[in-house]
Structure 1
């Protein structure tokens, strides 16, 4: 079979297939005209690599599993080398978790110390908005405000990005792009609008951003060429969030709600804000909206929801 058919059947991008070839995991034959010819075995290997990626096994470490299949085993993890790869990955994760936990505790302590000097004296506890979601948040309901979006072309609008670019949504190029819109992100040590937690779907912008950060590589592996966050906040404010949360993708600033006007997107008011974007995610393919996630809840698990859709 040709590479396009293989990628479609394996639910990966052509770029991913090329990468697996570079790693030596897939070794296609050649037709008389020089074109690559992939077999059902190659399809199984790529499907296995994709499944392993979902468990956190990087394709660069998938060789023992592929070799196990090539040795005739029914499952890729039936060989000693595969089991050793599992153990090595678990050990590495344990080290990473221990290191990150120590770093996080240190940063949280410094954050508390800094906020106590910088912000109001009556603030005694700094809320980590990238981690905490209050219990019993109201669940947003589907009011039909996004029903019209699938099939619409993105407008010829340009937005400032936190990485210094000017991004034109009508010139994203081929492939899929994920654009998730959110109301606003909070800064540790400062207050969110009054009654914020009572607004269905409002809370959770930082946790959503962290979820997309943690799933970013996996989203790229399954064909997302671009990932953008988007809000009405200014680029400078968004840049602080990108730096503080370590986001590997840029944010787009739309303070005038140009995209909302062009596509009739849902928005809502909040104390201190005449208008904010309602949480919504667009999956764009070749500059046309292919799928919409709306409403979104909980936001801290939304990136996995997007990943599952892209994989399917």
Structure 2
């Protein structure tokens, strides 16, 4: 067969075939007129070279595998020399991975330093999450005032709002069922490498979303045993952002994303603005049978709020 047909069958370019031939990896027959004549064995060899190259083995180092086939082996890696080539390639990849990992760690460190430069949020010692310690609250945190912005909520019907959770499922808030659903609503969660808004720690009720989520994580089973049918966290952050939080904090429940603040508008929930962005104020709803049974507001301290909800559930059993 001609070189074009070989290239088509092996799914490579004719230029690649010529390169393999220049290295002596394939040696086609020569016709009387001087043209190359490739056979099925050449197709097999070229396919093997392509497969090995896709695994990261340089073309120049595929010779042991080709020689193994030429010796009559059923597979190109049946021979000791092929296994040795595998080990050499693995060792080289390991060295590259270690070097890239070190570079990545340096980049993360530089990112964290740059993200917090000029911010009041100070990076903590390395926590394994990129350096930031969003779990620990500052020693002095302003307490939010009870402005009565949630007094109207108990007794209201759950709104006909559909939001998506981090599992990709549409959740209809007015069809949550007869069991109690706890929805803790928060402004936003910080994550490694992402700067928080300027002055975040000084806004009453702003700081503490991660400690609050960790509290609901740690008390999740207790909440279910106390009568909660399900637990959701809810913010205006998008689902992709929330999914990272669920994985990083190992949350056993899903988050709900409400980027348009539909819930705030439909129920008249309290919100605030920072850096031109409108955010939910921190509050928690207990919804049962299509109705808001209870509202927690204001919430302080956020890291103890899950325990507060648990106490209420135990004090008010169904």
TM bucket, shorter chain: 0.5 to 0.7
Pairing 1:278–2:271 present: no
Aligned-pair CA distance for 1:278:
0.1
Contact 2:115 2:193 in 1 (8 A): no
- Bigger radius of gyration: 2
- SS for the counterpart of 1:247 is coil
1:206 to 207, 210, 232: 210
Selected match of 1:127 from 109, 117, 132: 132
Report matched runs for 1:225-304 at 5 Å.
Answer: 225-271=229-275, 273-304=276-307
Q: 1:127: how far off?
A: 2.2
Residues 121 and 283 from structure 1, CA distance in 2 versus in 1: closer, same or farther, beyond 3 angstroms? closer
Q: Which runs of 5+ in 2 are unaligned?
A: 1-103, 117-122, 125-130
Aligned partner of residue 108 in structure 2, secondary structure: helix
Number of aligned positions between the proteins: 202
Show structure 1 runs of 5+ residues with no match. Answer: 1-110
2:183 is the alignment partner of 1:190: no
> Shift of residue 188 of structure 1?
1.8
Q: Hey, what does 1:172 align to over in structure 2?
A: 176
Q: 1:215 and 2:219 equivalent?
A: yes
Equivalent pair of 2:115/2:194 in contact (CA under 8 Å): no
Secondary structure of the residue aligned to 1:297 is: coil
Q: Partners in 2 of 1:147 and 1:228 — Cα distance? A: 22
How far apart, CA to CA, are the structure 2 residues paired with 1:311 and 1:187?
A: 33
Superposition RMSD in Å: 2.1
Runs of 4+ with deviation above 2 angstroms: 111-115, 117-127
Counterpart-to-counterpart distance in 1, 2:115 and 2:171: 41
Q: Within 5 A, what are the aligned runs for 1:1-312?
A: 115-116=108-109, 118-120=111-113, 125=124, 126-129=131-134, 131-271=135-275, 273-312=276-315
